[in-house]
């Protein structure tokens, strides 16, 4: 599936022109909304325009995303896990990579949620306007919001992760249960290698490719939808929107920096026994390539060469981990989704309890594995999570306009994270080999 990876954000469609149209839609919607807020605040025609034109157009876009997100996430997560067993000689490396991915992605998401909960960049907007928009857009997420309202807690929530009927879970938009089944199913494909399972894997890859293509078609609607989202937001929140947008960008960058310069060096020092300064110096070429292209796929050849020539990692392990990492080990994507969901919840005045934040955390961890390589993969996932916690999904319009720069930053974190993963797995594999050799010598 890695050959399908193009970039790590909305630019993943591969059409630079679409990025410009999205930016134009964002800027035009923001300007028109601010003009309406400044000169025609509460005018009947503005309210009519929002109620009968911009909100319906935005909901059509969101409903199309919701329609496709379940098959998209299921197929992507299944294949992302199953691909870790493609090289039978490296099966232990695949399992180690999977465990590492879950642990480090979990750390990344927890850090991002803690930072957003502490700094609360979304607080301070007009609560009445937020509640009005919540009421107007209550239908946007449909049954997703309704299922979230009936969410279980405690032991029931843990048991609810395991679906008794996956078809029912899909029809109820029980995203955690669906993703648990996809994870379990992917592990099954990982450990069962027969001609029939190879055909099944190809079939699921076909589902992924179809869903990805359809998402690409829907994303072409994005400029118009983003215009509508931004007009709605700016017409109701006014100039507060710009200040909150700047705060959001700052918090995303802070979260990414903590992972890059806090967690990764700790892993290098305490697990891989590698000097972090030397590591960042040796991988700077891959970092620059990732930042400039915002593409894991475009950076993969450079990352492979850096792993071989600069980091001196074992070839088989580096190739396996980096190729899989371009699809599955996406710390930056997971952090971005977590920060975005909590920021928008604060912006709209929706307080998330512990169980809801755990829901966000689990989805972001799994989505970091399942949605990497999907055109605009973060967009439907964020919209789905927003609906699941009762936040207007059209809030994604607020972040899409600045997403290109954030995409470059989180892609850099993703690529560096892949190289850290390859370094750690190589070190652990070397320690295991040394231990076996020592035992053999003792005998």
- pLDDT of res. 275: 96
* Residue 142 dihedral angles phi and psi, to the nearest 5°: 50, -125
Structural domains of the chain, with CATH: 15-436 (1.10.3860)
Residue appearing with tokens 């009947």: 44
Instruction: Please write the tens of the pLDDT for every residue from 115-167.
Output: 999 999 988 766 666 666 656 555 444 444 444 444 454 566 667 778 888 88
Best-predicted range by mean pLDDT (81-85, 133-137, 211-215, 431-435): 211-215
Q: With beta carbons less than 8 A apart as the criterion, state whether 415 and 286 touch.
A: yes
Give the per-residue pLDDT at 374: 46
pLDDT of residue 211: 85
Which pLDDT score is estimated for 320?
Answer: 80
> Where is mean pLDDT largest: 45-49, 122-126, 400-404?
45-49
Residue 151's region, left for phi above 0, alpha for psi from -120 to 50, else beta, is beta
Least Cα distance to 58 among 224, 265, 252 occurs for 224
Pick the residue with more confidence: 374 or 314?
Answer: 314
Segment 356-382 shows an average pLDDT of: 72
- Give the lowest-confidence range in 77-81, 86-90, 175-179, 327-331: 86-90
Check: CB of residue 393 under 8 Å from CB of residue 62.
yes
For 255-285, what is each residue's pLDDT tens digit? 999 999 999 999 999 999 999 999 999 999 9
- The reported pLDDT for the residue numbered 342 is 93
For residue 130, the model assigns a pLDDT of 64
| Model confidence pLDDT, tens digit, residues 174-200 | 777 888 888 889 888 878 888 999 899
According to the model, what pLDDT value does residue 4 have? 37
Segment 215-259, tens digit of pLDDT = 888 888 888 988 998 898 888 888 888 888 899 999 999 999 999
pLDDT of residue 440: 45
Span 49-66, pLDDT tens digits? 988 899 889 889 888 888
How far the first Cα of the chain sits from its last, in Å, is 44
What is residue 82's predicted lDDT score, i.e. its pLDDT?
76
Q: What is the mean pLDDT of the chain?
A: 80
In the prediction, which pLDDT does 11 show?
41
Task: Select the more confidently predicted residue: 136 or 348.
Answer: 348
CA distances from 329 to 29, 217, 442 (A): 35, 26, 38
Q: What is the pLDDT of residue 126?
A: 67
Would you state the pLDDT for residue 118?
94
**Lowest-confidence region among 65-69, 173-177, 359-363:** 173-177
Judge whether residue 204 has pLDDT over 60: yes
| pLDDT at residue 145 in the model | 42
Measured CA to CA, the distance from residue 347 to residue 197 in angstroms comes to 46
pLDDT at residue number 85: 56
Q: Which residue has the higher pLDDT, 91 or 408?
A: 408
CA 144 remoteness from chain centre: 19
The model carries a pTM of 0.77
């Amino acid at each position: 599936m890695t050959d399908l990876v193009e970039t790590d954000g909305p630019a993943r469609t591969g059409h630079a022109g679409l990025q410009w149209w999205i930016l134009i839609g964002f800027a035009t919607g923001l300007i028109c909304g601010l003009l309406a807020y400044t000169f025609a605040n509460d005018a009947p025609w503005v309210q009519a325009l929002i109620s009968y034109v911009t909100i319906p157009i935005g909901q059509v876009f969101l409903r199309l995303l919701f329609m496709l997100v379940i098959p998209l996430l299921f197929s992507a997560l299944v294949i992302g896990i199953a691909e870790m067993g493609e090289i039978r000689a490296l099966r232990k490396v695949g399992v180690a990579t999977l465990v590492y991915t879950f642990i480090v992605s979990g750390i990344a998401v927890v850090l991002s949620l803690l930072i957003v909960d502490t700094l609360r960049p979304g607080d301070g907007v007009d609560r009445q306007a937020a509640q009005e928009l919540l009421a107007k857009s209550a239908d946007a997420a449909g049954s997703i919001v309704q299922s979230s309202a009936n969410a279980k807690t405690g032991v029931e929530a843990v048991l609810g992760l395991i679906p008794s009927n996956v078809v029912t879970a899909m029809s109820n938009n029980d995203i955690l249960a669906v993703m648990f089944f996809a994870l379990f199913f992917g592990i099954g494909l990982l450990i069962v290698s027969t001609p029939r399972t190879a055909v099944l894997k190809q079939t699921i890859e076909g589902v992924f490719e179809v869903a990805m293509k359809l998402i690409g078609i829907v994303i072409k609607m994005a400029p118009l939808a983003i215009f509508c989202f931004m007009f709605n937001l700016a017409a109701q929140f006014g100039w507060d929107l710009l200040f909150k947008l700047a705060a959001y960008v700052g918090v995303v960058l802070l979260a990414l920096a903590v992972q890059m310069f806090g967690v990764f060096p700790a892993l290098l020092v305490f697990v891989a026994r590698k000097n972090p300064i030397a590591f960042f110096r040796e991988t700077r070429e891959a970092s620059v390539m990732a930042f400039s292209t915002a593409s894991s796929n475009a950076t993969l050849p450079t990352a492979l060469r850096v792993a071989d020539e600069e980091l001196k990692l074992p070839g088989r392990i580096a190739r396996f981990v980096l190729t899989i990492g371009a699809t599955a080990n996406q710390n930056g994507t997971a952090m971005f989704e977590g920060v975005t969901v909590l920021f928008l919840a604060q912006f709209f005045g929706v307080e998330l309890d512990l169980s809801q934040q755990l829901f966000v955390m689990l989805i972001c961890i799994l989505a970091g594995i399942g949605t990497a390589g999907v055109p605009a993969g973060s967009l439907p996932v964020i919209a789905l999570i927003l609906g699941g916690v009762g936040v207007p999904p059209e809030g994604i319009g607020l972040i899409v306009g600045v997403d290109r720069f954030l995409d470059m930053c989180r892609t850099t974190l993703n690529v560096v994270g892949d190289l850290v993963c390859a370094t750690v797995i190589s070190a652990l594999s070397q320690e295991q080999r040394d231990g076996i050799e020592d035992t053999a010598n003792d005998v």
